[in-house]
Structures are given as structure tokens and as C-alpha cells.
Amino acid sequence: MVARRPQFDEVNVLISEADWAWPDAVRRIFQPRGVNLLMAESVDQFITIIERKRIHTTIVDMDSEKSNGLATIKIIRMEYPLLPCILLASEATQDILCKALELDVFGVIDKPVDMAVLQQVLNRLFQKKYNNDVFAL
């Protein structure tokens, strides 16, 4: 059975900006699929971008120096409760996992991020939420 692929004008994924190679690595997954990668440095930028553009998912870094990942997701949830979020964490403790579950985070991925795992999580998310196979392996 072939998955349906609803047509979007564009697919937009919003991620935390980082000082490490993260944005470049993610770009390699997204560009061949025609997915737009947008970056935010702060909670304010996350909200501003979400208000101005249709965002299909966010990927938030728990360890960002400029904003705490769980706090960012909590603020996003206040205005956009159905927006799927993925959390990156260098140490996914039981406490972080419980808080992520409370905030209805779609997935928590350990850092350093294995790009194959990220692609699998994105594929599951887009299949479940949008019935779209843009991230199919």
C-alpha cells in the first residue's frame, strides 16, 4: 500500500539555532526533500516565526544556551497546543522524559543526534499527523 502524500504549499520545520554542526546536518536531510528549515534563537523568535508561517513541527534543543527547551515547548503549547514538537537532550533523564510527556512532546532524541533516528521520528510524525511520507526512508 502506498502512503498518500497530501500536498502542502511548503513543508516548514522550525529548529533551535545551535553553535554546533546541528543546522548543517539537518539541512542535509531536509533539502533533498524540499523541506524548509527555519531557525530560532529564542522563545520569542519561535513564537514570531510560528505566528507568521505555517510550521509543521518544531525541533527544540533542551540544552540551548539562550532558552530552556522544556520552557520553550511549554510556551509554544500555550498558543499552539497541537503543533508537534521534538525535543533534543544531551541527558534524557527520567524527569525530562516525564515533563516531555506532560507537554505532549512527540519524541525525545538523545544528543549527539543520530540523523537516521531523527529521520525515523520525523517520518513517524509526518505519517501520523499529516498522512505524509516526505521523510520516508
Q: CA 50 → CA 2, 27, 35, 82, 111, distances in Å?
A: 31, 19, 16, 12, 25
Answer whether residue 1 shows pLDDT above 50.
Answer: no
Domain residue extents for the chain: 11-130
Q: CB under 8 Å to 43, separation ≥6 — which residues?
A: 67, 71, 72, 75
Length of the chain: 137
At 137, the amino acid letter reads: L
Question: Per residue in 56-102, pLDDT tens?
Answer: 999 999 887 666 889 999 999 999 999 999 999 998 899 999 999 99
CATH number 1.10.287.3510 given to 11-130: no
Question: Per residue in 14-59, pLDDT tens?
Answer: 998 876 678 788 888 888 899 999 999 899 999 999 999 999 999 9
At 66, the amino acid letter reads: K
Of 7-16, 79-88, 106-115, where does mean pLDDT reach its minimum?
Answer: 7-16
- Please indicate whether residue 108 or residue 10 has the higher confidence score (pLDDT): 108
The three-point CA angle 26-68-111 to 5° equals: 40
